[in-house]
Amino acid sequence: MKAIILPFACFLVAGCGTFQDTPKSCMPPSDNGPADMLPQIKVDSAPPHARTFLRLEGGKYTYPITSIETVDHFRLNLKSAAARKSNLKPLNIDALAKATNIENVDKNKAEYADLISEAMLATDVTGIGVTTTLISIEQMLDDLLNRADSMISSQLFALRSHVAATVSDINVVMKDRMQDAYDKLNEQQRQILDRAMVLATEAQESLDKLAKEGAFAASDLLCQTTVNFANYPNTIIGLGLPFDRCFATDILCLSSIEVRDVGTPQAEQMLQFRGVNLLPNGEYADATLLVSGKEIKLPTAGGKSILQLPLPGGLNGKAGDTSLRGPLMARVDFNWPKSQTSRRWFFELKPFSVRTVDVSLSFVIEGPLRSVREQLCHVYAEGGSAGSREEYATCTIVPDSVDKSIERCEEGPVTSENGDAGIRNRLFTVGACQWELRAKSKAWWGAGAWYDFIGRAHQLGTERVQGPSFIADKVINQNEKTWVIEYPDSLVPNGYKIISGQYSYNVTISDNEGNTITLTEAKPSDPKFGSAVVIGKRLTINLR
């Protein structure tokens, strides 16, 4: 396989090869790299590992013959080499990227360089192998761009253009040494490939993270990877090799991929872009923001690698506006008139977050429980004999459970009585109601005597019940993070008290983007919306 010599942006122009002033004729790195030159094969189904984010074309899955397996082998060989060294910090891509940065000074730089060289030899890397690996990454980026949402698409485009530029740089600098074995190359050529392979590994890790964890988790690593690729020519220049491609002004990433409206035109937020040669000839960029049919001219500030842009609020929602909204696609056009250079960046402008919170809060309360226990009390003395008969009886009513007491005793209506009969004595305590009864029949075959009445014991116990619910609602703006609700004493009935730690709540949070979540004592938190906690009589809602 012959080395592929690709065109580069500009030749032999004053200022090329540095991050200094860029000539007017300098063009940005092309995003049309040599990916189509890579041999491909067709298969009817995706291979099990699917490591290259396969694309479906014409009913067939397409993937490159030489996939990212080179990076896998390189990683394994790095681990094996690192296992034989004890003086290095834990092996990670950040340490390797710093070690291969020509401008970096690190006490372990030489050790890391030896480690990488050992792994490169074991992987049997050539210039063709490195560029083929980078082209595989380009194809992975192409596939991701077909599926990526608007939040991350500009970032992926920027990374792809600089991966393509790196492939071109390697072809130009290595020339006819592209197929030579690693151990046949000189030290400068080895360092060029070392840096490129580490960047390929970094790109693979960032894309893996993007695929597995999403744009938010991967954004920082993707941004740093793009910056490292954009600065790859520094390796070539630092090694003193001829390099004639100029550094075009370019936007590489937005430091924070989530941009949310601040809600009012009187407030602004600072957007920070990273890039290269952002101050060509000392000229700051003019910026035009286009969003929802509005065009706004904005100033910029920063330096050669950072560009700052003040974004006004009130473009997508305002405080108290609960109407349903979604993200707006915002576009920033950067223009450097003197350098005849322009760049464009898309990002999502999420709405100013307004949440409606509905709350129901109740506590278990304890108070008096009164009840009445009744019993028929009866005494009878039989008649019809020569002498009289006298009978005694005791009627006792006790509480129906051990946790109750007698509050008072009551004698109900007499249901039946005759002759010399009635209540002889009364004995009332907190433990019982007691009546002593007497009846005496008449002598000489007279009538019998009896006395019947209903005895009542008024019991006093305690009960625990769910108290009345306190209902409240509030509209909460995104700059408000906490709402504290106190259960009012007026809802607690007289004689009752709140039982600490026994409560029930229902917090429903709805935002103006159509999302709803309910928090309860069984599910007190949600990673996206926030949490709720009860201390004493207060429910505190913490919003994210």
Half-sphere exposure of 132 (CA within 13 A, CB side): 22
Q: Which two tokens stand for residue 287?
A: 């910026």
- The enclosing H or E element of 113 equals helix 109-123
User: How much is the pTM?
Assistant: 0.69
* Cα–Cα distance, 428 to 243 (Å, whole number): 111
Place of tokens 């990526």: 148
Residue 255: which of 302, 201, 313, 292 has the closest Cα? 302
pLDDT in tens, 141-156: 888 888 766 678 888 9
In DSSP terms, 379 is beta-bridged to 451
First to last CA, the chain: 56
CATH superfamily of 252-352: Immunoglobulins (2.60.40.10)
Range among 13-27, 103-117, 252-266 with highest mean pLDDT value: 252-266
Whether residue 237 contacts residue 188, with contact meaning beta carbons closer than 8 Å, is answered with no
pLDDT in tens, 509-532: 999 999 999 999 999 999 989 999
Average pLDDT, the chain: 84
Q: Which two tokens stand for residue 98?
A: 């710093």
Sheet (strand 40-43) strand order: 40-43, 60-64, 55-57
Task: Kindly give the pairing relationship between strand 538-543 and strand 294-298.
Answer: unpaired
pLDDT in tens, 62-110: 433 334 688 888 888 888 888 777 665 656 777 777 777 777 666 667 7
* Cα–Cα distance, 156 to 223 (Å, whole number): 9
Q: Which two tokens stand for residue 90?
A: 């834990």
Domain range summary for the chain, segments of one domain joined by +: 34-247, 252-352, 356-363+465-543, 367-464
Burial letters 517-544, b for 16+ CB under 10 A, else e: eebeeeeeeeeebbbbebeebebebebe
* Cα–Cα distance, 178 to 24 (Å, whole number): 32
